[in-house]
Amino acid sequence: MTDTNVILFFVGLLLFLSVLASSLSRFGPPLLLIFLMVGMLAGQDGPGQIDFDNVPLAFFIANLALAIILLDGGLRTHLQTFRVALWPALSLASVGVLVSASLAGAFIAVWLNVDWRYGLLLGSIVASTDAAAVFSQLRSSGVTLNQRVSATLEIESGTNDPMAIFLVTFLLATIDSNEGFTASSIASQIVSQFGIGIVGGIVLGYGLSFLVARMRLVEGLYALLIASGGLMAFTAINQLGGSGFLGIYLVGLIVGNRRNHASEHVFRVMDGLAWLAQAGMFLVLGLLVNPHQLWDHFGSAALIAAFLMFVARPVAVWLSLLPFHFPTREQGFIAWVGLRGAVPIVLSLFPLMADMEGAQFLFDITFAVVLVSLIVQGSSLAWTARLLKLQVPREPGPAASFGFRGTRPDTHVLLAFRIQQASSLAATQGEALNRFDGLRCVAVTRAHRLLFPKDKFVFAVDDLLYLITPERHSDELGKLFRGETKHAPEARTFFGSFTLRGDAGMTELADTYGLSLKDGDRDLAIADFMRRRLRRRPVEGDVVDVDTLRLTVRTLHAGVIETVGLRLNENEPEDDEADTAKRKRRHKRDGRRRG
């Protein structure tokens, strides 16, 4: 084979083997770790014997891949997520990275007995979490976290790169010039990175969104238009002195939240591009490392990783989230999911490209820290979420969703919903659908048959209905088709056996269960009482304990608590069986009166 064919063959072989090996991720190892290991095995120290040491090429591929991954992450982030977790995530992305880098840098300088600037440089390299690692693990972990925690983690990992990049480049310049630094120079660099990144991302995001909504292209080209436009925005913002990573994330966020006729096709193609970017990036970074060199520094790296996991990251999370009243369990989980991935490895290439003394040592330490983080933290994400009781029951959405070409944004969509066992639609003629204006049921699939409903058509459980409807009805339709699916055993354990309306009064609840409340609390609705106790924007799964009861947020509408689950608090001693049964009968009777 010619040299070109040999190169293409090995590229295809490595990707092929990586995809096959990805099936092992269901048994625990994080998918990105598998890609890294395949690259290491294909490298000079492994059976593949590929001699790859082209740092500039690896840096180029990694930056390209990270840009695509952040663009895809932005496309899939809903604005509602930003409303819930924007400020906590930004605090983590700025203050959190700075605190984590400072603590890790001080520890490294003392432990490795190196100059404090080198310690801070290595601490800054490993301080930020990685978007690729966090996005991948959250989506493949099989757990559903409450919205505040998942949103905080995703937004933080997508926006913390500017601070880490600033710290690394600034310290490199300081070490190279052997000069000190001033507060004004630091402030100007931070403003430049964040300011130009934010403004550039918003302006170019709206421009690209405007173009996508008005172009008429072959379906498969919309994703390429967005990807190429995002990459141009990434490079332009970098060239202007801002953070291209932050900018391209915001471009994806704006394009993804402005509905257009190409959205569904874009998501499908971008998903494949993001996976290709992740696989390619981690394979190349794996090829770049020599495992025998890692082993020489693995003890020091493991200790640094442990310090990051158990000291630096928890302290940074606690300080960053202090003003936002996050529960201790949520802070603990956010601290544990400080996954290191490709970003620290890419940052460790900066000293190599600058030909700095000791750069290879920094790279080897960083790579080993990333391996420890992926193995320990990445493999235990689902287990930790269950241990801290942060997993909420998964709610099924539409089985399929399609836009219509040629329509204005935010008008009608084609949604497919399956009738669940508990839905009130089962065994009816669909009277419940009449309250949704502009809705039409165009087809039903039942037992592999396609049916077109006419007058007096009776729907059945497991029917898949295809509805043309204004998009604003999507959430309400989901509730209708689900019914009370939260009475499943695992959901009943989480939310409790009873459901209360959020606008019901606390007085009646207090009288029923003998609760001791302050005078001001007795006059509140249950939703207002919980909001006062939580002291933060509520999300599904938030818990408030009142004497022997536990109230859990079940559903919200426009940020307002609609329904609340009730159960006896497991942390409190229960009454005897007779008294408990009596209270349950009284509660059911009162619930029927309120209904």
Cβ distance 416 to 399 under 8 Å? yes
Quick one: tokens of 499?
Answer: 């459901």
Closest of 21, 317, 346 to residue 164, by C-alpha: 346
Domains parsed from the chain with CATH numbers: 3-47+54-387 (1.20.1530.20), 400-482 (3.30.70.1450), 486-594 (3.30.465.10)
Coil/strand/helix, residue 143: coil
Sequence letter at residue 534:
L
Cβ distance 335 to 313 under 8 Å? yes
Rounded Cα–Cα distance for residues 30 and 32 (Å): 6
Quick one: tokens of 11?
Answer: 């590229």
Cβ distance 370 to 341 under 8 Å? yes
Per-residue b/e over 534-573, b at no fewer than 16 CB within 10 Å?
Answer: beebbbbbbbbebebbbbbbbbbeeeebebbbbbbbeeee
Quick one: tokens of 355?
Answer: 């030909």
Residues near 123 by beta carbon (within 8 Å), at least 6 away in sequence: 100, 101, 102, 103, 104, 105, 106, 107, 108, 312
Phi, psi (rounded to 5 degrees) for 144: -110, 110
Taking the chain, what is the end-to-end CA distance rounded to the nearest angstrom?
77
Our measurement of the distance from residue 582's CA atom to the centroid of its chain's CA atoms, rounded to an integer in Å, reads 44
SS (H, E, C) 410-464: CCEEEEEEECCCCCCCCCCCCHHHHHCCCCEEEEEEECCEEECCCCCCCCCCCCE
Rounded Cα–Cα distance for residues 34 and 38 (Å): 6
Cβ distance 23 to 15 under 8 Å? no
Q: What is the pLDDT of residue 125?
A: 92
Coil/strand/helix, residue 544: strand
Quick one: tokens of 591?
Answer: 């619930």
Q: What is the pLDDT of residue 577?
A: 43
Closest of 176, 179, 124, 178 to residue 355, by C-alpha: 176
- Taken in order 168, 174, 175, 177, the sign of the CA dihedral is positive
Phi, psi (rounded to 5 degrees) for 554: -100, -55
Rounded Cα–Cα distance for residues 222 and 216 (Å): 9
C-alpha count within 13 angstroms, C-beta hemisphere, residue 221? 7
| DSSP notation for 242-286 | S-HHHHHHHHHHHHHHS--TTHHHHHHHHHHHHHHHHHHHHHHHH
| DSSP notation for 25-47 | GGGSS-HHHHHHHHHHHHSTTST
Q: What are the pLDDT digits (tens) for 72-127?
A: 888 888 787 777 888 999 999 889 999 999 999 999 999 888 888 889 999 999 98
Rounded Cα–Cα distance for residues 160 and 96 (Å): 9
Q: What is the mean pLDDT for each group of 10 consecutive residues in the chain (595 residues)?
A: 71 73 57 78 76 86 89 84 85 91 93 87 87 67 79 84 84 74 71 88 93 81 91 94 90 83 72 84 84 81 92 95 90 88 86 86 89 85 83 72 60 84 84 86 91 89 90 78 60 78 88 84 90 88 88 84 82 43 51 45
Quick one: tokens of 76?
Answer: 């899939």
Which value, to the nearest 10 degrees, does the dihedral of the CA atoms of residues 558, 559, 563, 565 take? 150
The C-alpha angle with vertex 323 and arms to 320 and 326, in degrees rounded to 5, equals: 80
